[in-house]
Amino acid sequence: MLPIDEAAHSSRWRRRHPVDKAVLGLGLTVLAISLPPWPGAALVMMTALTVMLGPAGVPGRRLWRAYRVPLGFCVTGAATLLVRVGGDGFVGLAEGGPQRAGELLLRTSAASLGVLLFAFTTPMSDLLPRLVKAGVPAPVVDVALVTYRMSFLLLDSVRSVRQAQAARLGHTTRAAAWRSLAGLGATAFVRAFDRAARLQNGLAGRGYDGTLRVLVPKARVSARFTTASAALLAALITLTLVLEGPLS
């Protein structure tokens, strides 16, 4: 299981309905995109960090390990606004590039934290089965469930093969590492098809009728939590509009 999934299953908000957490996490994401980057996105970022490290109880080390990947994409995307191609020289500094790059970095990094807030508190096993009631076709949800569960089995298989290759000195030289990588890919491909065939045979033997029935933990939408989240979002909007003039 991935660290973000382990954190979601052990989260303090594990038993809350996904709608409660979607209002807060995805609401922060929408505000990060729609509000002015300064001070709106900065306020959203601080709020998301405070909620995750405080009430949600997300471990700081796990949060950083998950956040540094999207943060790297955010920095890379913002860096492209610093330069221009063409004009007097082939490559040069873009006019107003630092400001636009900073604004983009604020927006994207704050939006990523809003998504991570939802991901760190909502296991996929709780979210996907409920999508059927939201109008998503059942076959689409079934494919997503199977893909989600199979991915962990494949990751375990890849880890086992890599450990076996390392024990047989399969990574001592560059040529050996490339051969091991090719063997790893071939083994994972064969095992994926083998597991899929066994899964299909198992479902057929159990009378599969086109719908995967799974147990979903009972949870109710909390009106108090949803109202508090909406109030927090409204307060962020108001504070941004108040501070936008003096800080700009």
Alpha helices in the chain (DSSP H): 3-9, 18-34, 42-53, 60-79, 97-121, 124-127, 138-167, 174-205, 223-247
Residue 210 in any domain: the answer is: no
Instruction: For residues 21 and 105, state if they share a domain.
Output: yes
Q: What percent of the chain has pLDDT over 70?
A: 94
Residue 213 in any domain: the answer is: no
Residue 212 in any domain: the answer is: no
Instruction: For residues 47 and 87, state if they share a domain.
Output: yes
Angle between the 174-205 and 138-167 helix axes, to the nearest 10 degrees?
A: 140
| Burial (Cβ within 10 Å: 0-12, 13-18, ≥19) of residue 145 | middle
Instruction: For residues 40 and 59, state if they share a domain.
Output: yes
Instruction: For residues 40 and 104, state if they share a domain.
Output: yes
Question: Which pLDDT tens digit goes with each residue over 33-85?
Answer: 998 888 888 899 999 999 988 888 888 888 888 888 888 888 898 888 888 77
Residue 91 in any domain: the answer is: yes
Instruction: For residues 8 and 46, state if they share a domain.
Output: yes
Say how many domains are in the chain.
Answer: 2
Instruction: For residues 109 and 226, state if they share a domain.
Output: yes
Residue 10 in any domain: the answer is: yes
Instruction: For residues 111 and 194, state if they share a domain.
Output: no
At residue 157 the predicted structure's pLDDT band, cuts being 50, 70 and 90, is confident
Instruction: For residues 173 and 95, state if they share a domain.
Output: no
Domain interval for residue 44: 3-122+218-247
